[in-house]
Amino acid sequence: MAIERTFSIIKPNAVAKNVIGNIFARFETAGLKIVATKMVHLSSEQAQGFYAEHAGKPFFDGLVAFMTSGPIVVSALEGEDAVRRHREILGATNPANALAGTLRADYADSLTENGTHGSDSVESAAREIAYFFAEGEVCPRTR
Ligand code: IDP
């Protein structure tokens, strides 16, 4: 299985619940390694740019308002099959469909305020990591 990188966001509602360490523990328990991380408070422009693929959709303005409502934690994770396994830990986008034991089952408040983000492909991950981190800020941990 290939070593991949993926990109994670702990969204404002999950940061507000004070569960950053708990979420990191779930990633680490699953064998995913944090290779970059920081807390940021997005501007509207940054949030619009990150979610550009959703521009024009009915939920876009609400999503941008939510994502700028408080600080978030952005991270790059590394591990075998990281993209798929990370999304498995997050659970379904809509918390109503998230399996018990997933982060969204535990920490989502609504479809928009669903607690966490995870890249949906290796290509998206590379783009999303580069959106927040310079190359030298990502520290490889698997050889
Ligand atoms: P993902 O985060 O699971 O990859 P996307 O479809 O890329 O899901 O949507 C990005 C984010 O936009 C979701 O995590 C959620 O916060 C929000 N979102 C997606 N679809 C809806 C919707 O139909 N209503 C409200 N918010 C939505």
Q: Which long-range CB contacts under 8 A does 61-70 form with residues at least 24 apart?
A: 62/112, 63/112, 66/11, 66/12, 66/13, 66/112, 66/113, 67/11, 67/12, 67/42, 68/41, 68/42, 68/43, 68/44, 69/12, 70/12, 70/13, 70/15, 70/16, 70/41
Whole-complex ipTM: 0.96
> The tokens 């607690």 sit on which residue?
115
What's the confidence (pLDDT) of residue 37? 98
pLDDT digits (tens, 9 = 90+) for 97-125: 999 999 999 999 999 999 999 999 999 99
Q: Is 18 annotated among the ligand-binding residues?
A: no
Residue located nearest, by CA, to atom 11 of ligand 1: 112
Contacts (Cβ under 8 Å, ≥6 apart) of 65? none
Q: Are 39 and 14 in contact (CB under 8 A)?
A: no
Q: Between 3.30.70.141, 3.40.50.2300, 3.40.718.10, 3.20.20.140, what CATH number should domain 3-132 receive?
A: 3.30.70.141
Q: Is 94 annotated among the ligand-binding residues?
A: no
C-alpha span between 116 and 94 (Å, rounded): 11
Q: Is 117 known to be catalytic?
A: yes
Q: Is 120 in the pocket of ligand 1 (CB under 6 A)?
A: yes
Atom of ligand 1 nearest to the CA of 51: 10
Domain boundaries, the chain: 3-132
Mutation pick for ligand 1 pocket among 63, 102, 124 (CB with most ligand atoms within 8 Å): 63
What's the confidence (pLDDT) of residue 115? 98
pTM above 0.95, yes or no: yes
